[in-house]
Structure 1
Amino acid sequence: MPSLLTGSQLQTRARHLITHGRLLLAVKAALAAGIAWWLALKVPGVAAQYPYYAPLGAVACMYPTVAGSARQGFETLLGLAVGFVIAVPVILIGDVSVVAVAAVVALGVLAAGMPKLGAGQDWIPIAALFVLLLGGDNPQEYSFGYLIQMLVGVVVGITVNMLLFPPLHLDGAIAGLKNFRDTLALQLSDMAAAIGESWPPEHEEWSQRESRLGELGQEVRSAVQLADRSRHGNIRRRRHQRDLTADYHSLQAMERIAFHVQNMTEVLAGAIWRTPEATPLPPALVEPLGEALGRTAEAVADWDSEGSKMTAAEEAVENLMQQITASAAAEDRVQATASLGMDLRRILLIVRAESGPGSETVDQNAAA
């Protein structure tokens, strides 16, 4: 039988479940909608006739970050106001008709093209159509009640999002940066292994990973940007501090390294399979090239320190460059190897500039 979980393990698993991004957002949206409905029933005046818009406002502004929730709520209210302004004159001109419906929808869609409305763009034609069809004889009162109840829902939604486990999304940035670095090191290591195999190498996975490096860089940049946005207006940021400026610097460095690794992947794949006659690797350079690739992979994986791995990689690359010079003097075709050597040298310059104590500040307890 499997062993029973301890109280601490159960608490940890429960915390991970509760703070899971999508589940947490669903719980907060449900809670905000319920509170908004309860408050909407107590709103006095004409707005009391339209309580169902308050839960709609709460859901409309729910967003993975606090600042994003506030922005989305404001943009939604702004879009509604524009829709009301479009619909009321059409109603005053004549009764509800096919022409009136078509007119407010057309004007609403046109107005939705205005810049900087964000989430409010989608609400403009909807609000205009609702006012036209449901406003009846008092479109101004309907518009006022609709807007007030939506405002109640937006305020509730923002408040709930701010107070109930506001997510920081730091773990995604931390994991993404580590995965990016590990993938770059793996690519260099796989190329070093291919150099040491009988030619042509049996496995080709590394040669097909070139586009994935670019995609991974974009994914990690999105994760770091989300973590940055999630700090704004977040009451938990003081407990879970992280230097995202340093993360951006690390990301930029990894993106530059990825550029060189992609170039190396293309050059080496060409030398092995595509144009081996035009861009050969001289036999005398195979061993020093493999050594330089392997040592550079270790240096990239050991990003956070300036230890022996970095020194060994620099020595291996310099040895490779010397061997290239000797082979060139012997009139060997060294263009492909020289290109690989220059990329390795640039990678190590980037790592040397970015590595060292204090280059990363990691809060392993940051919330997802």
Structure 2
Amino acid sequence: MLRPPRFLARAARASGPEREAVIQAAKAAVAAALAWLLSRWVLESPQPWLAPYAAVFLVVQVTIYRSVRDAGQQLAVVATGVVLALVATLLTDQVVVGLAVVVLVGMLLSRLRMFGEHGQWVAVTALILVSQAGPEASSPVSAVVRLAEIAVGAVVGVVVNMLVLPPVYQRDATAALTGVAGRLADLLRRMASSLREDQEARADLAHDWLHRARGLADEARRARDSASWARESLRLNPVRRRQRTADPAAVLGPAADAVVEVSSHVVDLCEATVDAAEQQDEARADEDETTEGGEPGLDPLFVGSFADLLDHLAAAMEEIRDDPAAMSPQADRHPPGTGALELMSAVHREAAQRLPGSTGEVRAGWSVEGALLNAAQRAVVDLTGRRPGSSE
């Protein structure tokens, strides 16, 4: 019982999804009323229900570009439903038979690519006309009027969505992107701190890191989708012309792509850490088995250097969090992750000195260290566009 008042209170208090939902609902109501009135005045139609139907359908689209794009599809969908109802009622005067025919044919026609994701409304429109319009559904003149109602509703819906508080989602996209970048940075710093403290991977923490990393990877992909919505919301939008809003494709697009790629590599890091922790647990459980040439697990020297590398990756995520434009190709500065790139080269040199060919030592931890380094290197490359040790 308290949810609706709380929802409205949040909508009135601050900008957000609640306010956006209220605005879209109000716009749909206005568009429906205007479409009905215009159809009554211009077309003199006694029950012009198709006009508000088309208007609401287009207003509830989340961007102006999508409203304009879908206007053609919506006209085609409803017009096909009107024609289908006309043909069905001309062929038979039995309502039951007509309903069966329009539903069967309409559902088959709905699969045509030209109707996009709205094809099911062909059958719905024809069904309503056959069941409610009665003899009028078999009149060609009535069918033409219905088509005109759809056109009026489509025009009203597009105009209302374009001129009345047109939706812009750049702020939501920025908040989603900076939020996930900050949480990735926090996870990386927690991993670095734990590795320094324990000098090994703890199984309980490693599994928790992996769970969080997978959740953040999903969140990063949603943030990239939000950046795409932000870009689309400015297409055909008069707000952009008045306020000269920056193109989110240039500001948020590169940052969103980088965060998605880094989040997937953090998942790989966590999976490798889980492997290391499980190897160490197995070694402790069976004290009689030892790895030839030394103790299994991660080398303490590697752990220290790798923890520093995680901190540098966290710093890169924090830089994106504070300024997503840092990843833009037009940014006049070093890209985030430059410090990690330099440290990555040093870690590679240290790892090479401890290879079996250099010392003769063989440790089980080398495979895990290699997996960790590979995942970290891919993250660095995605951030900087350069590989460790490259001269450019």
- TM-score grouping bracket, smaller chain normalisation: 0.7 to 0.9
CA gap of 1:130–1:309, structure 2 versus 1, over 3 A, is closer
Moved over 6 A (4+): 12-15
Shift of 1:307: 6.8
Matched with 1:93 is 91
Q: What amino acid sits opposite 2:49 in the alignment?
A: Y
Matched with 2:344 is 317
1:275-297 alpha-carbon deviations (Å, 9 max, x no partner)? 66597212332222222222232
Distance in 2 separating the partners of 1:190 and 1:213: 15
Matched with 2:152 is 152
CA gap of 1:350–1:80, structure 2 versus 1, over 3 A, is closer
Distance in 1 separating the partners of 2:335 and 2:75: 59
Structure 1 unmatched runs, 5+: 1-11, 355-368
Task: Look up the SS of the partner of 1:117 in the other structure.
Answer: helix
1:108-141 alpha-carbon deviations (Å, 9 max, x no partner)? 1111111131354122112222332314154323
Q: What amino acid sits opposite 1:49 in the alignment?
A: P
1:184-228 alpha-carbon deviations (Å, 9 max, x no partner)? 322321221221233553645322123213312320121011112
2:315 pairs, out of 298, 317, 324, with 298
1:75 pairs, out of 73, 76, 91, with 73
Contact 1:131–1:143 (CA under 8 A) maintained in structure 2: no
Query: Superposition pairs for residues 335-350 of structure 1, below 5 Å?
Result: 335-350=367-382
CA gap of 1:44–1:260, structure 2 versus 1, over 3 A, is closer
Distance in 1 separating the partners of 2:351 and 2:19: 53
Distance in 2 separating the partners of 1:243 and 1:228: 7
CA gap of 1:349–1:170, structure 2 versus 1, over 3 A, is same
Whether 1:108 and 2:106 are equivalent positions in the alignment is yes
Shift of 1:311: 5.6
Whether 1:56 and 2:53 are equivalent positions in the alignment is yes
Structure 2 unmatched runs, 5+: 1-10, 284-290, 321-325, 327-331, 387-392
Distance in 2 separating the partners of 1:16 and 1:41: 36
Q: What amino acid sits opposite 1:300 in the alignment?
A: M
Contact 2:313–2:340 (CA under 8 A) maintained in structure 1: yes
Contact 2:78–2:121 (CA under 8 A) maintained in structure 1: yes
TM-score normalised per structure 2: 0.77
CA gap of 1:176–1:110, structure 2 versus 1, over 3 A, is same
Query: Superposition pairs for residues 223-234 of structure 1, below 5 Å?
Result: 223-234=226-237
Matched with 2:7 is none
Matched with 2:287 is none
Whether 1:245 and 2:243 are equivalent positions in the alignment is no
Contact 2:210–2:267 (CA under 8 A) maintained in structure 1: no
Matched with 2:195 is 195
Distance in 1 separating the partners of 2:37 and 2:270: 61
CA gap of 1:17–1:310, structure 2 versus 1, over 3 A, is closer
Task: Look up the SS of the partner of 1:209 in the other structure.
Answer: helix
Shift of 1:158: 1.1
Q: Which structure: greater helix fraction?
A: 2
CA gap of 1:288–1:321, structure 2 versus 1, over 3 A, is same
Residue identity (%):
26
Q: What amino acid sits opposite 1:143 in the alignment?
A: A
Distance in 1 separating the partners of 2:376 and 2:341: 9
Query: Superposition pairs for residues 1-368 of structure 1, below 5 Å?
Result: 16=15, 20-45=19-44, 48-62=45-59, 63-133=61-131, 134-136=133-135, 138-198=138-198, 201=202, 203-204=205-206, 205-238=208-241, 239-246=243-250, 247-273=252-278, 277=283, 280-303=297-320, 304=326, 312-328=339-355, 329-330=358-359, 331-333=361-363, 334-353=366-385
Q: What amino acid sits opposite 1:290 in the alignment?
A: A
Matched with 2:5 is none
Distance in 1 separating the partners of 2:162 and 2:233: 11
CA gap of 1:287–1:257, structure 2 versus 1, over 3 A, is same
Distance in 1 separating the partners of 2:240 and 2:86: 45
CA gap of 1:249–1:310, structure 2 versus 1, over 3 A, is closer
Distance in 2 separating the partners of 1:120 and 1:317: 51
When the two chains are superposed, the root-mean-square deviation of aligned CA atoms in Å is 2.9
Shift of 1:148: 1.9
Contact 2:173–2:230 (CA under 8 A) maintained in structure 1: yes
TM-score normalised per structure 1: 0.82
Matched with 2:323 is none
Residue correspondences, number: 341
Contact 1:40–1:54 (CA under 8 A) maintained in structure 2: yes
Contact 1:58–1:155 (CA under 8 A) maintained in structure 2: yes
Distance in 2 separating the partners of 1:17 and 1:324: 49
The range that moved more, 192-201 or 285-294, is 192-201
Shift of 1:154: 1.9
Identify which of structures 1 and 2 has the higher relative contact order when contacts are C-alpha pairs closer than 8 Å and 6+ apart: 1
Shift of 1:22: 0.9
Matched with 2:389 is none
